[in-house]
Structure 1
Amino acid sequence: MSNIRTSLPIPTEPWERAKLRFLEGLTEEEQANFRSATLETIYYQADVAHRDHQQKSKLHACRQKLRPFLDTLEAYGKGLDVISNTAIVSMVMAPLWGSIRVALQIAQDSTETFEKIVDMLKEIGEALPHFRDYEQLFPSHERLLVAISDAYLMVIYFCTDIKELFGAAKKSNSNNSWIKLRSREASAD
């Protein structure tokens, strides 16, 4: 996008700044992937990642396993709410039911977030080729080219945010301090 044919400095600066910011946090391998990316390789890698996620993802497998449980809990949820609101049962059921709900909501939110990210990337992938078409059709329309540049910038920021989100999750998963603590407690018992 740095070759926008306008008199404005705006289109190139956000693109270059976003690109540099994004490249800073990448490993050498990721930078090589970034530089060699084409629309075809991105579609191929996205398809491979999606199939790989469905086959190997623990999160996807857990969600599939939890689906009947979630459906059952939802069906009986209102009844449990009524029971847990009675005076005696409330002291036991409310914290138990509340804990289950919180844990399930967190699990559901994380899988829904992943699915929404995949959907958004799919929509971005479908829209990006049209940006090139618009650039070629309207090479001297500065406002359109600035808007396209801004859209590219938003995509870069979105990808940076995804990388940071999953990078932070990956770091916390590699530590597994909570899991290690729970394992030690279980083995001590």
Structure 2
Amino acid sequence: MPPVSAAVTNFLKVQYPKPNVDPEWLQACYDWVISEKNLNPVTDMQQIIQEVENQLLESDLRDSMLHGTGIPHDIADSNTAHCKLTGPPILVQIEAITDVGVSAYSLNKTRLIREERKNAGEEQEGEADGEIEGEGPIPNYSRSMLRLDISDGATRLRAAEYRPIPELTLGGTPLGYKVSGGLTQTVHGLSFVF
């Protein structure tokens, strides 16, 4: 297979400057996209770039990124009292999410009702009365302030919303969801500063 096009590597460096994409992963992804989607690098470069980006955002960053090129190691050190990141945005994935502004009892009660209604065949989510057994749509979780465990594929740390990010929800945001931390760049329309 041909080497990865400079157009693809340049796009990824601009869109996702940190951490660096693993060249072996990128070559394998590029080869797969060309063969699986039957695309020609001469005529279909924009579609190839889009497909590679989709694969990157669907990947586990532990597999697709070079370790040690994203979040600085000293930030995750428990002895670091305060730190502010500067520089280019860092692509991270959400590894855990919880609402720290709602009681564990309330969250667990909602979880149990959601499971019960899903098992009963309900598919519609929305505002629901959790007191009426087995009736109504699947209730949404109460929403306050989210605490997240995030990772660049090598370094994992805790983060918290300082302003609500409506796109992130308990029961709706899948683990592995990607966001880009920084002041100027966004992924999926999210601005995420940590």
Same fold (TM over 0.5): no
Q: Which has the larger radius of gyration?
A: 1
- When you count helix as a share of all residues, which structure comes out higher? 1
Per the normalisation by structure 1, the TM-score is 0.25
